Amino acid sequence: MTNYEYFLKMAGIADTRIPSLYVAMDDLHKAVSYMDKGNRERLEIAAPWVMEAVNHYASTDPILTSFHLKRQRWGDTDVEPFAE
């Protein structure tokens, strides 16, 4: 069991849901890791909660990369995420 899976278990998540949540977060972390800095900055503006989730996931394993956030919390944005 990974540290993130243990975190989910301690949070009371059903054992049957833990594997799919772990895979989803691992895939999300990989996707963000493959982005260049400019795209990560755009993602942070458009969907800062994604970066927060990725960084929380990374904090459970010292081998994973965390990303410096310019904003302190997801509500600190003046961008309309779905504006055309």
What's the pLDDT at 71? 63
Q: How far, in Å, CA of 8 to CA of 15, rounded?
A: 9
**Cα–Cα nearest to 58, from 69, 42, 47:** 69
Name the residue with higher pLDDT: 56 or 72.
56
The 3 state secondary structure assigned to the chain is CCHHHHHHHHCCCCCCCHHHHHHHHHHHHHHHHCCCHHHHHHHHHHCHHHHHHHHHHHHCCCCCCCCCCCCCCCCCCCCCCCCC
Average pLDDT over the chain reads: 86
**Is the pTM higher than 0.85?**
no
The pLDDT tens digits of the residues spanning 24-61 come to 999 999 999 999 988 998 998 888 899 999 999 999 99
Where in the sequence is the domain holding 23, given as residue range(s)? 1-84
Q: Pick the residue with more confidence: 23 or 68?
A: 23
Total tally of structural domains belonging to the chain: 1
